[in-house]
């Protein structure tokens, strides 16, 4: 009877240790360089994320990154204006990658007084005036410099006193 208990206890202990070994994953350090697919220049600021975790890294000024991940994990590379790519690690300690430009994400942006907006979503007229046109006008206020320069824009002085607000 005691022998059966000893054997069953040993068997349970072996199962416990085997289950711990199965759950543990090999973690490796992955390094590499991220470049632009068009010109081969390094891409700084690219986000590198281990899929399914909150572990991440950002590429430095030379496009280099270092991240700890499971040997069988997947890395996700993303950056604004570039196509997001997923790469399986497969036990490799070095993964170099070239990101392609995402032409669909690039769009002309119009800066307005309270935020930014896509140019195709702007209704109404948009006008531009360069700083060179305004640089040599000897008045103290920017609004005075804009008077008469933009079509359809009326800028009026609120008082009759010279130099007062417009």
pTM of the shown model:
0.52
Q: Is the pLDDT of residue 62 over 90?
A: yes
Q: Are residues 23 and 93 in the same domain?
A: yes
Domain holding 129, by residue range, is 109-146
Q: Is the domain of 13 the same as that of 90?
A: yes
Do 79 and 57 lie in one domain? The reply is yes
- 9-60, pLDDT tens digit by residue? 665 655 555 554 444 468 899 999 999 988 999 999 999 999 998 889 999 9
The pLDDT value given to residue 146? 76
Collect all residues with Cβ–Cβ distance below 8 Å to 41 and sequence separation of at least 6: 35
Residue 51 lies in a domain: yes
Residue range 114-156, pLDDT digits in tens: 655 666 666 666 677 777 877 777 777 777 777 777 777 777 7
pLDDT at 21: 46
């Amino acid at each position: 009877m005691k022998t059966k208990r000893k054997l069953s206890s040993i068997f349970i202990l072996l199962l416990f240790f085997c289950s711990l070994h199965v759950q543990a994953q090999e973690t490796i350090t992955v390094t590499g360089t991220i470049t632009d697919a068009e010109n081969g220049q390094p891409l700084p600021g690219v986000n590198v994320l281990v899929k399914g975790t909150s572990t991440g890294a950002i590429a430095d000024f030379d496009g280099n990154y270092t991240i700890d991940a499971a040997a069988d994990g997947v890395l996700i590379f993303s950056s604004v204006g570039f196509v997001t790519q997923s790469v399986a690690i497969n036990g490799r300690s070095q993964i170099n990658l070239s990101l392609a430009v995402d032409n669909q994400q690039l769009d002309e942006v119009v800066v307005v007084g309270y935020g930014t907006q896509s140019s195709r979503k702007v209704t109404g007229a948009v006008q531009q005036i360069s700083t060179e046109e305004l640089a040599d006008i000897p008045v103290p206020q920017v609004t005075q410099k804009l008077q008469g320069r933009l079509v359809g824009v009326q800028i009026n002085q609120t008082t009759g006193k010279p130099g007062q607000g417009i």
